[in-house]
Structure 1
């Protein structure tokens, strides 16, 4: 009998230590050892969509809450983190599976969605309707609002139905965190 991988959505607080370890191993493997501890920390505290085959996590994405400034207001943002598929399982639609669930969470719980994409992953998000942020990016750093020009080309956003219109050419400012702020 052939086992079918299962999709699961769970809050960080409901992950077992073994599941957290499995996610961390997947991210290390998928990102060729470049997924830092700060990157993993960014993926914690929110919702995780996972595809599992037995005890093996074969795909993962997380959405965590962040606060963004845009257009003279603060926005509750569902920020996508740690999207990965095990190299042996790629090309079978599992990235789309976890993103379907993460986008559902964003659409029903946040003012907007955002993520920072690598060039390699950008096509996945553009194909799904995520839009490139065209304006300048900033962070509310410990020393005040600071420009983040190196991140300008990598930020993508998802407008939530019924939400306010975003001016994609205006400034977008994220909250501070350790490691990569975007």
Structure 2
């Protein structure tokens, strides 16, 4: 049995598909997927994996964000809303979703970024994503704010042929400063 992979921009998804994706994510995150989390996953490219019978098994999306680092603004493909049905986990579906999203990042962005749970981090590290070892900040309405809880759970991946943003010199602790958004900023 071969799963079917589809990519689509948010505007190409029907209301029924969006409702189905949201239900998958609510179940995958066991009620910990908020309305703001849902909003963060919209407006970009979605990867959907279905059984041949049409059942949605996995989803992820990549949306554009801006990140400031060392005096430069980067256009980053931010991975959001990655979830796999509980009864289909550890069968490569997350890899299939990420393969598609990474292709989008390679073609459209300076780098990829995401915030990972401990469980999710295994998938991303295995695919070559690197934990950002320095400060994480956000350009909030009141100015730049440090996000110490996001330090250690933020991962980057260079887009094909482009270097990752990094420290200008050994010992440099220059922060990544992400754009503001409502809800959980990362």
TM-score bracket for the superposition, by shorter chain length: over 0.9
Q: 1:26 aligns with which of 15, 24, 27?
A: 24
> Matches of 2:164 and 2:41 in 1, distance apart?
27
Between 44-53 and 165-174, the greater mean CA deviation after superposition? 165-174
Report the counterpart of residue 170 of structure 2 in structure 1.
none
Mind listing any 5+ residue stretches in structure 1 that lack a counterpart?
Answer: none
1:135–1:162 distance in 2 versus 1, CA, 3 Å: same
Deviation at 1:165, TM superposition (A): 4.3
Report the counterpart of residue 9 of structure 1 in structure 2.
7
Report the counterpart of residue 74 of structure 1 in structure 2.
73
> Matches of 1:112 and 1:91 in 2, distance apart?
26
1:171–1:86 distance in 2 versus 1, CA, 3 Å: same
Deviation at 1:47, TM superposition (A): 0.2
1:173 aligns with 2:177: yes
- Match of 2:32, SS? coil
Deviation at 1:27, TM superposition (A): 0.2
Normalising by structure 2, what TM-score?
0.93
Deviation at 1:164, TM superposition (A): 4.0
Do the aligned residues in 2 keep the contact of 1:134 with 1:170 (CA within 8 Å)?
Answer: no
Q: 1:36 aligns with which of 25, 34, 37?
A: 34
> Matches of 1:48 and 1:167 in 2, distance apart?
28
Report the counterpart of residue 48 of structure 1 in structure 2.
46
Superposition RMSD in Å: 1.2
Normalising by structure 1, what TM-score?
0.95
> Matches of 2:75 and 2:150 in 1, distance apart?
20
> Matches of 1:170 and 1:76 in 2, distance apart?
18
Matches within 5 A, 1:57-96: 57-96=56-95
Q: Runs of 4+ in structure 1 displaced over 6 angstroms?
A: none
Deviation by residue 1:113-170 (Cα, 9 ceiling, x = unmatched): 0000001111100010000001101000000111111111110000123324421553
